[in-house]
Structures are given as C-alpha cells and as structure tokens.
A and B are shown apart, each in its own frame.
Chain A
Amino acid sequence: MAPPQEHDYIGLSDVSSLENCDNLVSDETENLRETELRLGLPGSVTPERKEKFGITLGLQLPKGFAAGAKRGFSDAINGNGKWVFSGNGGSEAEMEKSGSLFSPRAGGGGGGLQPAGAGKEASGKVAAAQEKKPLGGPAAKAQVVGWPPIRSYRRNTLATNPSKNKEDADGKIGPGCLYVKVSMDGAPYLRKVDLRTYCNYKDLSSELEKMFSGFTIGQCGTHGIPGRDGLTESCLMDLLNGSEYVLTYEDRDGDWMLVGDVPWKMFIGSCRRLRIMKGSDAIGLAPRAMEKNKNRN
C-alpha cells in the first residue's frame, strides 16, 4: 500500500472533525495544533516528536506487522510528527486488530479520559494529551494510572521534597503527580488520589464524590475563589449545617483545614492528606481555618 494513500485518509479535515469529539478535554486553544487529537494513551505524545522527520522511510512492512506498524507510521502525517490514528484506512481485519489493541479496557483504571468503545469507534477514541503551557505551571494531564511504572514512594518523595525548599514555587514542582491519601469517616477503606490530575476544587470534589458515593463536599468548597477573608462565616455555617460530611485536608504544618480556603495551586502544594469528616466534627475547624487565612492575608 502506498503510504501517502493511507495517510491521505486522515488529512487535516478529518482531524478537525474529530476535534469536536467529546474526548477533547483540552481547554487550551491558543495553539490548535497543540490540541490536535491523537491516538494513544494520555501522555503518550512527547514534544520530541516535533523534531522528528515528518515522513519516515522504509514503509515496506511485512504483513504481520501491518496494524502495529501503521500506528507507528502515523506520526508521519504532518510536519509536526503528531500521531494520528490511520486505522480506518485499513481492512476490516486490521480494524479489528487495532481495535483490539485499544480495547475498552486499554485505558486502565481511573484517571483516563477514554470512552469505552471498539472497532470503528476506536478511531474516535483518541485521547487528547495536553501539552504543557510554555508559561506557568504544569497543565493537568490525563495520565494512565500506574504508568510509567515508577513507585508511588519515589514519585511522592520527588514531588514533595522540592516544594519544601521552594516556598514561592510558581507551581512547577518536579514529577507530574502527587498522590495523597483520602480517608472517610466510617468508610473501611482508604483511597489515594493524584492531585495533579485535577485543575480545581470542583473536579476534585466530583471525583471524590464518585469514589465515596453518598458524600457531598458542600457548596462553599467548590468555589475555589477565596475572597480576602476566604470563606464567609455564613457560608461556612451553611456548609456545616447543610451537608453531612465535609472535606478537610492536613497541610504541611500538620494542621487540619477545610478544603476550599486557599487558591488551588497553594492547596496542592501544601496538602498532605485528605479526610472526609463528619460535619459535626468539623465545626471546630471553621474558626481556625478562617484565622489562619486571615493571618496569611
């Protein structure tokens, strides 16, 4: 098969139609090319590929390798060398093969943004990997759970230690993940979440809600916009009276605070642990949290 023919199928027009797909998570639209949908698991595109040759040589492949190789070649689509799925151009058999390679379960456990699907849907089942912004801190990338296989102990050691030294870090802190334990009063199990996969309190709260269903973070916590005085007094009382549970966290100083007090970036920099506490237990926290916030300002 002539490589150009295969790749023609994709073309940029196809890509733009795929951009409307629900999978597109990226909200960075400064550079459309940056947000191009790509095949492969989240985080699978590295900037290195930009430098690679657009068209690769030696496209003659033994039949057996067709499906796999196609994927490999597909980064020859455009000058940027981005990966774009070309499976649709192939035969049914190849479709199935490539479909099975990205089985509905290929995304692994939480954190992934891939919808379940098979066969034809596989072409639409591309994961948008967000490029890091040239300025500012690391964008929250959708990452495959447990990949690459680096022990969480190592990740956490590298993640937390640098931040201890740089109080005024602008957010760029070493490896892109930060696992903290989440416990819930009354629940027999602990979970761990990677704070870097969320962009704001709302995302975190909805994910936790899913994990510990039947729990609400309360209205106030989801704003994430502290005024000069943080949460207002009345807002907090509503929070505590209204919902059964509240979300609290232990910061680097060992103090327990209500989640939502501080800007998100500051929160993930100082949060060591999360605890979903009974509202009644958290009453004592409110004044302190307010105090601390006031003192900070």
Chain B
Amino acid sequence: MSVPRADDDAELDKLPVGMGSGAVWVTAAMFPEEVLEYVFSFVEADADRNAISLVCRGWYRIERRCRRRIFIGNCYSVSPEMALRRFPEVRAVVIKGKPHFADFNLVPSDWGGGADAWVESLAEACPQLEELRFKRMVVTDDCLELIGRSFRNFKVLSLVSCEGFSTAGLGYVAANCRNLRELDLLENDIEDNGIHWLSHFPESFTSLTSLNISSLDGEINFSVLERLVISCSKLKTLRLNHSVPLDRLANILCKAPHLVDLGTGRFSADFRLGLFEKLDSSFKACRNLKNLSGFYDAVPAYLPSIYSVCDGLISLNLSYATMRSAELIKLITQCKHLQRLWVMDLIEDAGLEAVASSCKLLDELRVFPIDPYAAEPVSLTERGLVAVSAGCPMFRSVLYFCRQMTNAALVTVAMNSPNLTCFRLCIIDPHTPDYLTQQPLDIGFGAVVKTCKNLSRLSLSGLLTDRVFETIGAHAHQVKMLSVAFAGDSDAGLHYILSGCRSLKKLEIRDCPFGDKALLANAAKLETMRSLWMSSCSVSLGACRLLAERMPRLNVEVIDERRGGPLESRPNDCPVEKLYIYRTLAGPRSDVPSCVWTV
C-alpha cells in the first residue's frame, strides 16, 4: 500500500481499505472526523501515532488535534511553542533534559535542561494539562509554583533525577493541585528548606494514588504522613525516605494494607520483639503487595517480617540493603514469582545461583557494587550472571557490575538468553580482558549482539578492539542505545557503529580513541539519532566546525569546563574534551552557560 503523494490533492483524502482480496477506495468523507479520532484514540504508542500522521494530510490534521501524550526525548530538540502548536490538546508531557552521562558527573551542573521554558509555554497553551514527567531537568520552585497555579486538573507530577527545587516548591504543589493523583520524586536532589511541605496538602485531600518521596533527604512529619495515608484511601504506591523508622512504617502499613507498591524507610532498629510482631502482622495484612523497595540500612533481624508477602512479589529492590549473601538468599528464594530483582553484589555468585533456581520468572536483574574500590572485593563474578541466564528462561534485561569476565561466559549467556533486550555489563576496571585467555572481549560481546536479535540497549566494558564494533555495526539492528567506554583502537570503531546500527538513537562514548574522520564521514547519520555524546576522545574543534557547517539541523555543543575563554578564537586542531551533538528543529539554544559553545 503506497502512501498517497502529498501534491495529489484529489487523492489525498482517499484511503485504500482492504476487504478480502480486493481493495476499495473510500473517501475520507465517508468517515467523519470524529470517527477517525475515536479510532485513533486506541492507538497510544508514539511510533504508531507518528505513522498515522504520515498517511495523508487529513489524518495528520486529525491526529494532531487528538494526540494526548507527547514524549520529548531531548528538551532542546524542539521549542515548546512548536510542539504545542502542533498538539494543542495534549494532556500528558514527558520531557528529558540532560544527557545520560550527567548521572555520572560528566556534564557541568549549569549545562542546562531547564524546565521553565516548557512549563511557561504549557501554562499558557494547555491549561487542561494533567500530567508532567521530567527526567534529568532543572526544575525550580517557581516552576512548581506555576504548575500549581496553572493547571486545574493536574493529576501527575513525576520528577526523576531532577534538581533545582526545594521543599518550598513541593509545598506549592501540595497546596494547589487539588486533584493530584501521583507525586513521584525519584532520585532527585531536593533542597531541604525545613518546610513541612506534606502538611500543605489540605485536610480534605483524598486523591493521591501514588506518593514517592524516597529522594527527600530531611525529616518528615510522621503524623501528617499518616493522616494523608488514611485520607487517601485509593493509595496504591507509597515510597518513603530513609528518615522513616520501622515503627512508623508498621503504623502506616496498618492503615494502608491495600498498598501495591511499598518503599520502606530505614529497615533497621535494635531488635524488639514487639516491633517485629507489629511489622509482621502489618505485612501479613497486605494482600496486594507486589513491589517492595527501600530497605535502607537493612539488618537481617527484621527481614522475616516480610516473608508473608514474598510469594506475591513481582519486584524487589534490595539495592540499598547492605546485607550478606546468606541473608539475601533466605529472602529472595521465597519470592517465587519475582520478575524484577535489584540487589548489591554482596549477593555473590552463590546468591545468584540460588536466585536462578528459585525465581523462574525473573525478567530483569540489576547488580550494583557496594564499593567499587573495595580492598576486599566481593565474590561476584561471571558465574553469577551465567547461572541466572541458565536458570531463568524469561531473562530479558540485565545491569551487572563485576570485576572479571570471559568470552566463554558471554557466549553462554547469549545462547541461554537469546531474548535479551537490555544488556549492560560494567567490568569495573577499564580494559579488563578475558581473565582466562587474556583476549579482548570482542568475541563475547559479539556473540551477545549476534544472538540476541531483539537487543535494544547495550553497554560495553572490558578490553575491546575495533573488531567488536564491526560486529555491532553489522548485527545490532535493533539497538537504540549504545554506551561505550575505554574501548576500541581507532576511528574505525566509531565508523562501524555509525555506518551500521540502523536503529541507533542514542550513542554515548567516553575515553575512546575515536575522532574526526569517523564523525565527519557519518554526519548524516547523526540527524537520524537523538543525540551523541563524546568525551575524552580524539575529536578536534575543526571537525566540530565542519560538522556544524554541514549539518544545520544539528546542535554541536562543545563543552569546556576550564572556561578558558571564547572558543571562537581557538585553532582547528584544538582538542575537544566533551562534545554533545543532537538533532534539533529549534536551532542553537539561548540558554548556554559559559562552559558550552554551540559551534
């Protein structure tokens, strides 16, 4: 079925409709717009919506007026005005700001990603907005105040890895968003002004279904929290911060046994039988609990109190629980229906082997290092990963920090789990080879990429040559996001990636010998991607200038934190320490700080 040509007006509104073996051309007039809108409302995925809008001008027109959710993967890729002009009826907006490597302190703190411009435009154009989700953005208290004031039907606020706001801003939201359902504050950097913002929720407030305050640093007024929990009878998700002690947790749980998702506070206290029994009975009353997290400073003594809910758990986040392997095994092996497990490497290989035999539905595993620079490293090796891949047929997604790896292990993992969609392996020491053969890990990662045909996210580590990139370029057809560090021998590596990897959207590279040639040879590719980050590579200013000249719809941002003066005067062979390139319809941005130059 071919798409009608845009210049053929008469054909524009005709749509082929297949009925059996023949196709009947029907004019759009036979379907009133309302009907099409209604049909479109069942299509939610962005990619599908985009496809609909490309069918013909009529559909484009109808679709844009009824699109309710937009996802802006890079806040600078389009101006708020442009986005909202096209989709005036939007109700839910998801926006991401800083590059991913900002999580690891590689991006200067004043780089940008401010939410103000977006919130201001939304306040003006979309007073019916219900949902805002920001990730890695700078959100100010003024922003939060504006949100509170502007959107009468505001329901969902999610701030993930954001900063720039304080408890004062949260107070505005609490006081003014009368219909708030979800307040999700995940891993943010929140200033504590000592304001008891929770008490700003009015007495009559009942609409909360989800409250995640895990990233709050300060003390919480417990009685206010309890009051809130009682009055919000539809509360399904509650994630507390580490200031909430065990006895308070027990109180809260008693009042909210219908919780589906719980994040505990501090899971430690001196052992008191009374407290244990209280906790135990509170958990027993929670029949719907599926997700459990928190466990800050967890001590083994109180763990048995949650055994009663283990069988129903789908997701368990123990990544802040510094407990030893034996304790972790006791707990996790009871969670027979677990699909997602986040844990520290204290679990060790033995623990992962136990997981592999007990949690047959495991889909996602993340293993974090307790101390990457430890003098006595834990006994977590490639064996644990292999065990899970062998024992868990649904294994799809992994983030694994370890210190040693072999090609053989990687090949085995790939063969055991051909359905992997996300494979992120971090071997802690850069350039670590296969410890048995001393070979680079090209073969192992190559096997992963060749065998796991649905692989959509990949992070590499260990000793790697250009060979692995040749394999990736040729075979990683579905990979959308690729992270590379301390790998490769030459420009060829980057060239393989950019000239292959047909689905690539986000590429982030650090400390690799990749430079100008590969970048310039694949300039056009960059416009098909969301963004490219390169730091500590071998790119020169001259190449950036050339690239910027050739590709006007790319922003080529050179980041120089030494702030040694304007870049304009520097020679072409000046090395570029950090480079961030992204496609944009909005041109160079106006809020660059002094350490960033848009070339």
The answer to whether B369 and A148 touch across the interface, beta carbons within 8 angstroms, is: yes
Chain B positions within 8 Å of A107 at CB level: 536
The answer to whether B110 and A69 touch across the interface, beta carbons within 8 angstroms, is: no
The answer to whether A147 and B485 touch across the interface, beta carbons within 8 angstroms, is: yes
The answer to whether B489 and A100 touch across the interface, beta carbons within 8 angstroms, is: yes
B438 at the interface (CB under 8 A from A): yes
B435 at the interface (CB under 8 A from A): yes
**B478-500 near A? 1/0 per residue, CB < 8 Å:** 00000101100110000000000
Partner of B489, one of A61, A68, A131, A138: A68
What is the CA–CA distance of A254 and B485 in the complex, to the nearest angstrom? 39
Look across to chain A and name the residue whose beta carbon is closest to the beta carbon of B593: A189
**B383-422 near A? 1/0 per residue, CB < 8 Å:** 0000000000000000001011000000000000000000
Interface bin, chain B: 35 or more
B320 at the interface (CB under 8 A from A): yes
Q: Which residues of B (420-469) have their CB < 8 Å from a CB of A?
A: 426, 428-431, 433, 435, 437-440, 459, 463-465, 467
What is the CA–CA distance of A43 and B296 in the complex, to the nearest angstrom? 27
B161 at the interface (CB under 8 A from A): yes
A46 at the interface (CB under 8 A from B): yes
Q: Which of A22-30, A155-163, A219-227 contacts its partner?
A: A155-163
Partner of A189, one of B109, B370, B404, B440: B109
The answer to whether A72 and B433 touch across the interface, beta carbons within 8 angstroms, is: yes
The answer to whether B489 and A108 touch across the interface, beta carbons within 8 angstroms, is: no
What is the CA–CA distance of A147 and B512 in the complex, to the nearest angstrom? 14
A40 at the interface (CB under 8 A from B): yes
Look across to chain B and name the residue whose beta carbon is closest to the beta carbon of A188: B110
The answer to whether B510 and A174 touch across the interface, beta carbons within 8 angstroms, is: no
The answer to whether B104 and A146 touch across the interface, beta carbons within 8 angstroms, is: yes
Partner of B431, one of A47, A71, A162, A175: A71
Q: Which residues of B (68-106) have their CB < 8 Å from a CB of A?
A: 101, 103-106
The answer to whether B510 and A146 touch across the interface, beta carbons within 8 angstroms, is: yes
The answer to whether B375 and A132 touch across the interface, beta carbons within 8 angstroms, is: yes
**B553-568 near A? 1/0 per residue, CB < 8 Å:** 0000000010000000
Chain A positions within 8 Å of B296 at CB level: 157, 161
The answer to whether A48 and B320 touch across the interface, beta carbons within 8 angstroms, is: no
Partner of B110, one of A56, A71, A104, A190: A190
The answer to whether B371 and A174 touch across the interface, beta carbons within 8 angstroms, is: yes
Chain B positions within 8 Å of A65 at CB level: 439-440, 465
A150 at the interface (CB under 8 A from B): yes
The answer to whether A149 and B429 touch across the interface, beta carbons within 8 angstroms, is: no
Chain B positions within 8 Å of A41 at CB level: 430, 486
B300 at the interface (CB under 8 A from A): no
A interface: dominant SS: loop
The answer to whether A188 and B489 touch across the interface, beta carbons within 8 angstroms, is: no
B271 at the interface (CB under 8 A from A): no
Look across to chain A and name the residue whose beta carbon is closest to the beta carbon of B104: A146
B535 at the interface (CB under 8 A from A): yes
The answer to whether A108 and B510 touch across the interface, beta carbons within 8 angstroms, is: yes
A154 at the interface (CB under 8 A from B): yes
Chain A positions within 8 Å of B104 at CB level: 145-147, 149-152
What is the CA–CA distance of A149 and B373 in the complex, to the nearest angstrom? 13
What is the CA–CA distance of A191 and B578 in the complex, to the nearest angstrom? 17
B144 at the interface (CB under 8 A from A): no
Look across to chain A and name the residue whose beta carbon is closest to the beta carbon of B578: A109
Look across to chain B and name the residue whose beta carbon is closest to the beta carbon of A129: B373
Partner of A44, one of B187, B430, B593: B430
The answer to whether A47 and B109 touch across the interface, beta carbons within 8 angstroms, is: no
Chain B positions within 8 Å of A131 at CB level: 375
**B183-227 near A? 1/0 per residue, CB < 8 Å:** 000010100001000000000000000000001000000000000
The answer to whether B463 and A71 touch across the interface, beta carbons within 8 angstroms, is: yes
The answer to whether A72 and B463 touch across the interface, beta carbons within 8 angstroms, is: yes
B242 at the interface (CB under 8 A from A): yes
Q: Which residues of A (273-295) have their CB < 8 Å from a CB of B?
A: none
Partner of A191, one of B109, B194, B429, B577: B109
B58 at the interface (CB under 8 A from A): no
The answer to whether A56 and B438 touch across the interface, beta carbons within 8 angstroms, is: yes
Chain A positions within 8 Å of B187 at CB level: 151, 153-154
A77 at the interface (CB under 8 A from B): no
Look across to chain A and name the residue whose beta carbon is closest to the beta carbon of B513: A100
The answer to whether A44 and B431 touch across the interface, beta carbons within 8 angstroms, is: yes
Partner of B161, one of A101, A153, A157, A179: A153
Chain B positions within 8 Å of A69 at CB level: 433, 438-440
A64-B433 contact, Cβ under 8 Å, with A108-B535, A152-B103: no
The answer to whether B538 and A64 touch across the interface, beta carbons within 8 angstroms, is: no
A120 at the interface (CB under 8 A from B): no
The answer to whether B110 and A45 touch across the interface, beta carbons within 8 angstroms, is: no
CB proximity of A75 to chain B, nearest CB, Å: 9
B368 at the interface (CB under 8 A from A): yes
Chain A positions within 8 Å of B577 at CB level: 105, 109
The answer to whether B403 and A68 touch across the interface, beta carbons within 8 angstroms, is: no
Chain B positions within 8 Å of A153 at CB level: 103, 161, 187, 189, 215
B575 at the interface (CB under 8 A from A): yes
The answer to whether B371 and A175 touch across the interface, beta carbons within 8 angstroms, is: yes
What is the CA–CA distance of A177 and B595 in the complex, to the nearest angstrom? 25
What is the CA–CA distance of A184 and B536 in the complex, to the nearest angstrom? 28
A208 at the interface (CB under 8 A from B): no
Look across to chain A and name the residue whose beta carbon is closest to the beta carbon of B428: A148
A176-B430 contact, Cβ under 8 Å, with A48-B377, A56-B438, A109-B106: no
A192 at the interface (CB under 8 A from B): yes
What is the CA–CA distance of A153 and B217 in the complex, to the nearest angstrom? 11
CB proximity of B349 to chain A, nearest CB, Å: 14
Partner of A152, one of B105, B428, B575: B105
B511 at the interface (CB under 8 A from A): yes
CB proximity of A175 to chain B, nearest CB, Å: 5
Chain B positions within 8 Å of A67 at CB level: 489
Look across to chain B and name the residue whose beta carbon is closest to the beta carbon of A45: B429
A7 at the interface (CB under 8 A from B): no
Partner of B242, one of A43, A109, A161, A179: A161
B304 at the interface (CB under 8 A from A): no
A144 at the interface (CB under 8 A from B): yes
The answer to whether B371 and A101 touch across the interface, beta carbons within 8 angstroms, is: no
Chain B positions within 8 Å of A104 at CB level: 575
Chain B positions within 8 Å of A270 at CB level: none
What is the CA–CA distance of A197 and B233 in the complex, to the nearest angstrom? 48
Look across to chain A and name the residue whose beta carbon is closest to the beta carbon of B187: A153
Q: List 23 A-B contacts (CB under 8 A).
A: A40-B430, A46-B403, A47-B377, A64-B465, A68-B440, A68-B463, A73-B438, A97-B490, A105-B575, A106-B511, A106-B536, A109-B578, A146-B510, A147-B104, A149-B104, A149-B485, A150-B368, A150-B401, A152-B103, A153-B215, A162-B297, A175-B372, A191-B109
Q: Which residues of A contact B (CB under 8 A)?
A: 40-41, 43-48, 52, 56, 58-59, 61, 64-65, 67-69, 71-73, 97, 100-101, 103-109, 131-132, 138, 141, 143-154, 157-158, 161-162, 165, 174-176, 179, 181, 188-192, 254
Give 6 closest A-B pairs by Cβ, nearest first: A146-B104, A72-B433, A189-B110, A132-B375, A105-B536, A176-B373
Q: Which residues of B contact A (CB under 8 A)?
A: 101, 103-106, 108-110, 161, 187, 189, 194, 215, 242, 268, 296-297, 319-320, 322, 368-373, 375-377, 401, 403-404, 426, 428-431, 433, 435, 437-440, 459, 463-465, 467, 483, 485-486, 489-490, 510-511, 513, 535-538, 561, 575, 577-578, 593-595
